[in-house]
Structure 1
Amino acid sequence: MKSDNKTYRFFFGRRGERHLPFGAMLLILVPFLIVGQYFQNRKYNALSASPEHTSTVISNIGYIGNSGPIIHYSFTVNSITYNGGMHANGFAVGDSIGVVYQKDNPENNMTVFEYYDGPSYGFVSAFVILVVILAIIRWRKISRQYKADAPVETKVQRACGIYRTSKEYIFVTGYGKTGFGYNMNYPIKFAPIDCDDIEFNNAFGEVFLASNREEYKELKSSELIKAMKQRSWRQLHLHSTSVFVNQDDDKISVVPTKLASDKWLDWDSNQALTFDVGNDSIYDIVSETRKLLDNHETDR
């Protein structure tokens, strides 16, 4: 199972984590608990098969950490002394206490309180509840981390504008989608009008792919036209043809422009081209875009 899998993280943590993984704790604690419960039940069953009763006095009361007092007692069978003890409150040294022991094995003994209470599953129940609670908490935490770490599927939105003048092609990167109203910005690439297809494709690809990074500082209109090495927008619109290329997920649209006034352009949707990224070759898309630039009729 891969280390980036959610189930793997639940049991073993992330690769490289130094804390004790949850799965390791279960592998240590659960077998220990099962074995301990098995021997406790086996001890009780053997004792109940041949019980003998006696009485004695509490010889000592000890403490281990914060687990509460432990009473200690001893008793004699056939001149042999045996010891025992249990967690209990409310007793003092010298108090009488009843003891039940196994007839053929007095070392197996317990107080009458333990014997008549029967095997205790309280600890097991508490442990199981604790494990379930911890498992739920850890699963929710891992689920949140897994969702946070999972790669986010971003929407593919790319754009660029291409101008064809009498001398060169100008490729301008498009950022910040508002319909077709992208902000044009760097990088800006130039290719001579007689460039081969490879040079045209490279310039187009660089500006088109750059637009998906969404990292740009918006240029003023006057700054942009200067960066494009043009005198003015009016002169560029009068003496060039242009297209706007836009990718929205698996669709690429190529829309040419037409002169709407003596200064500004409008979209010529009747001449627009649409391509399917999954079916159409990028080379065919670029080739058709160049043809549209070279052949589109304008009144410039």
Structure 2
Amino acid sequence: MRRRRDSGVVLVNVLVIIALSAAVVHLMLSSRESAIDRVTGLSRAGDAELIALGAEASVVAALRRDLDQAPDVDHLGEAWAAIAQEEVQLVTGRFSVEIRDLQRKYDINRLALGGLGPVEVMARLLVELDQPPELARRIAAILRRTGPVAALSDLEAFGIPAAAIEALSPHVAVLPSDATVNLNTVEPPLLRAMLNNRAIAARLIARRDREGQITREALRGAGAVRPDHSGFTSNLFDVVVLAEADGAAVRMESRIRRSDALSAQSVSVVSRRYLPLPSEGQDAPDP
């Protein structure tokens, strides 16, 4: 009888050991599978990042060629702009390239310089955007008191309404002081505000739509004087690439700056950051 009880205890111990061994083996296999999944995920993410970096390099190369071949004009009919790609489905997954010419915008910090010119341009732009024009003087006063802001959104902390900042953001940004507004890429509301003549602006926009650009001759032909702080070239761009490889995706924004100084021409990526991914089929918001 004692022997049967001892046998029962031994059997229970054996079963416990087998169960523990099975649990350890399962844990080892699960950990191994998790590690493999992590390595595979990292590999796919690395592939997606390489695709994005390749697209960035293509834009840099195109902007460098453009600097050599056509340094006096930049417009959306040139080869650098043709690299832009709406979202498509490739073998690897989703892919898109967006090139944003930052010099289609007006530098908000110009309002801190004093003088009526920038303030009047901003007031007219606010009217174009159905916003109170008196905000231009408020913004100028803020900037003269506090100095330049680092981002347009910083003005909200000083009481500028969020709705006005959102309306301005497609046309106004914080830019280097030497970044003039490119008349070949500027959006119609800002062009009208800078020219202060809707009829002339309409003629120039129509000609740009037909011919791809606005030239000095086109300005003279339309009876326009080139607006202050405007030009025909751009040297500051944001490139946003969405790249996917086997289910892993990255959305990368690179800021590219060119220097067209004859003594030191260059094209370089000055910053790079990773953005939230949009849902499939949904347009990504501007960062």
Q: Shorter-chain TM-score category?
A: under 0.3
Q: Which has the higher helix share?
A: 2
TM-score, normalised to structure 1's length?
0.26
TM-score, normalised to structure 2's length?
0.27
Q: Which has the higher strand share?
A: 1
Higher RCO structure, 1 or 2 (CA under 8 Å, sep 6+)? 2
Higher radius of gyration, 1 or 2: 1
